[in-house]
A and B are shown apart, each in its own frame.
Chain A
């Protein structure tokens, strides 16, 4: 899997939008962009994924740059329960099943 770069930590206030950036300049044409998050002392959970077009689901939105070398996870209205480590992971879906390669992720801190 290609490498991603994320800020170590970010801080936001409750009920405000949060934009979590991810750089993946070496992304290949068959790489999907996946986001997972891990709440304290829990296993990770899937957030969202996309290939080229922006994506929305009940948890978040994913904005993908036109050249696909970067993406932004958007939490529209952060709550205290969104405090977690967010991981941006590239997955090549052209091959067989393989495990995820987690980077250090972004530690999101939400202030009340």
Chain B
């Protein structure tokens, strides 16, 4: 149980276009989902916290108008990278927290590798 999927697993796009990444909790409900970014040979950096039915909370230095997050249901959160540029190329990973879970364990998706040409 506790499986999180991401789609697509990889995407290549031209500079200036927008890319949407989906994060789904397949077998549990998640009131809170998180989005992370990981550049090559670096650790994961938290970008934002996504709460179902409310606005996302962004970490310092993350542009909310560039990285649009929507958490419309208890099983789906989406991250849209708007007007993507080569410096946005990265590994984007989401995680979901089990609603009501006592340990607040986070279940991670497999990641989406974005390459902006």
Contact = CB atoms under 8 A, between A and B. Distances in A.
A42 B108 CA distance: 9
The B interface, classified by DSSP as helix, strand, loop or mixed, is strand
Contacts of A101: 46
Interface residues of A, number: 21
B96 to A, nearest CB: 11
Contact of B111 (A43, A93, A105): A43
Interface stretch (B63-71, B79-87, B97-105): B97-105
A46 B91 CA distance: 19
6 contacts: A38-B44, A43-B110, A44-B95, A46-B107, A93-B103, A102-B36
Interface of B: 4, 6, 31-32, 34, 36, 43-46, 49, 59, 91, 93-95, 97, 103-111, 113
Interface of A: 32, 38, 41-46, 49, 87, 91, 93, 97-105
